[in-house]
């Protein structure tokens, strides 16, 4: 199962805003993947009548599962990031960079401050720096989000299209 481009775009915006929120607070999720994103479905109601709530008849829109041919136009998808078990709090920078805006909250944290050896989390979503055992930070979350978006749009993992690759084969495909 994969999303249409418009639906994936709407979902991506929600996840990017959630990552921006945690990243601005110096937190790296460290295990972004489809299984760590939950989706809530909220039905929209079309009201018929004269505008008086006592006289309104509500009808809910279909969501595809109930025979509306996959139409999501009458629902809102609400995405949330879960499972912060592998998350790390980034170290604050010792001195502000001369480059960049002083207003950018994210500049306060060192994006190469996670140095725990090989990465943590799910190997198939590791960024190249995690695979190489190099220090990493928030950009690793963005890499994992890119892999997740690819799966949402194409229905397959970009570095394991058949779903049977070993960690070494995935490593070879990434590096």
89-146 tens-digit pLDDT: 888 876 554 454 444 555 687 777 777 766 788 999 999 999 998 888 899 999 999 9
Look-up: residue for tokens 């570095």? 159
What integer best gives the mean pLDDT of the chain? Answer: 79
| pTM, entire model | 0.73
Where residue 60 falls among pLDDT bands split at 50, 70, 90? very low
Tokens of 85: 């078990």
The 3-state DSSP class for residue 117 equals: coil
Q: Is the dihedral of CA 115, 116, 118, 119 positive or negative?
A: negative
User: What pLDDT, on the 0 to 100 scale, is given for residue 61?
Assistant: 40
User: What pLDDT, on the 0 to 100 scale, is given for residue 56?
Assistant: 46
Q: What is the pLDDT of residues 75-91, one digit of tens each?
A: 788 999 999 999 998 88
- First-to-final CA distance of the chain: 28
Look-up: residue for tokens 């055992």? 133
């Amino acid at each position: 199962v994969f999303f249409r481009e418009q639906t994936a775009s709407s979902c991506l915006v929600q996840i990017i805003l959630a990552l921006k929120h945690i990243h601005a607070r110096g937190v790296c999720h460290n295990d972004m993947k489809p299984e760590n994103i939950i989706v809530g479905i909220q039905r929209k109601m079309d009201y018929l009548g004269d505008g008086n709530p006592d006289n309104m008849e509500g009808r809910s829109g279909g969501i595809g599962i109930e025979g509306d041919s996959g139409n999501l136009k009458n629902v809102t998808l609400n995405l949330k990031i879960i499972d912060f078990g592998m998350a790390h709090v980034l170290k604050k920078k010792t001195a502000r960079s001369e480059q960049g805006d002083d207003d950018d909250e994210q500049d306060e944290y060192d994006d190469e401050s996670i140095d725990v050896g090989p990465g943590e989390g799910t190997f198939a979503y590791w960024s190249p720096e995690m695979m190489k055992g190099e220090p990493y930070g928030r950009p690793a979350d963005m890499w994992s989000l890119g892999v997740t978006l690819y799966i949402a749009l194409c229905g397959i993992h970009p570095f394991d299209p058949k779903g049977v690759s070993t960690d070494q084969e995935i490593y070879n495909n990434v590096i």
